[in-house]
Amino acid sequence: MPKDYRIYVFVDFWNYTLSMRQKDEDFKTDLKALPKILTREAGNLVDPGALAIYSGMSVYGSYNKSTEKSLYNWATNILDTFPGVNAHFQPRMRKKSFPTCPKCHEKIENCPKCANDMRGTEEKSIDTKIVTDMISLAWEDAYDVAVLVSSDQDFVPAAEHLQKKGKKVVHAGFRPDGALLRQKCWASIDIPPLREEFRLQPR
């Protein structure tokens, strides 16, 4: 009798969003449909004769507290209410150090044109949160297959570790990006050919 496979989807929000914009600038994602399609595709890769069960999706991202409050409100009040979805959005932190001139190595504190602070912002602990959740949910035996939507090679050690422990990690991304991560995962899904199935339709 074929085994049932519980599949959990982990989405690196900005990695996914920016990659999709490069393929299709005006694309809007139906985030209710996306995890179900990725669950189906991962199930077909693992065992076409088995039942693929959608166990949930976590979406991880960052936002600028000054300019992207609406993104946080959407993630908290809308995305987080979708069936099986957990949204984890954190404010970006201002970098501690200023950039330096590549020639004289002098720190550049303010833009010479507009006087803006040159430190910018950075995502802090988003990747760590994804890895922690992938491992902790595996430890709790909450899934059999993890679908990782990201091209960031920083996830390679986590993918390798989980697979040594008997969990399959399926990479979902945008070829040729993420080649190393794709190589180290158990299998991979190329997202763009599937996108019409989860394109958000206008109301």
Domains observed in the chain: 4-93+122-197 (3.40.50.1010)
Q: Across the chain, what does the average pLDDT equal?
A: 88
What is the per-residue pLDDT for 89? 95
What is the per-residue pLDDT for 203? 75
What residue type is 31 in one-letter code?
A: L
Rounded to 10 degrees, the C-alpha dihedral 18/20/26/28 comes to -100
Tens digit of each residue's pLDDT (9 = 90 or more) over 44-71:
999 999 999 999 999 999 998 888 999 9
Produce one character per residue of 147-181: b if its CB has 16 or more CB atoms within 10 Å, e if not: bbbbbbbebbebbeebeeeebbbbbbbbeeebeeb
Tens digit of each residue's pLDDT (9 = 90 or more) over 98-153:
556 666 767 665 666 665 654 444 555 799 999 999 999 999 999 999 999 999 99
What is the per-residue pLDDT for 66? 84
Peptide bond into 176 cis (omega under 30): yes
What is the per-residue pLDDT for 41? 98
The token pair at 42 is 């991962």
Tens digit of each residue's pLDDT (9 = 90 or more) over 173-195:
999 999 999 999 999 999 999 99
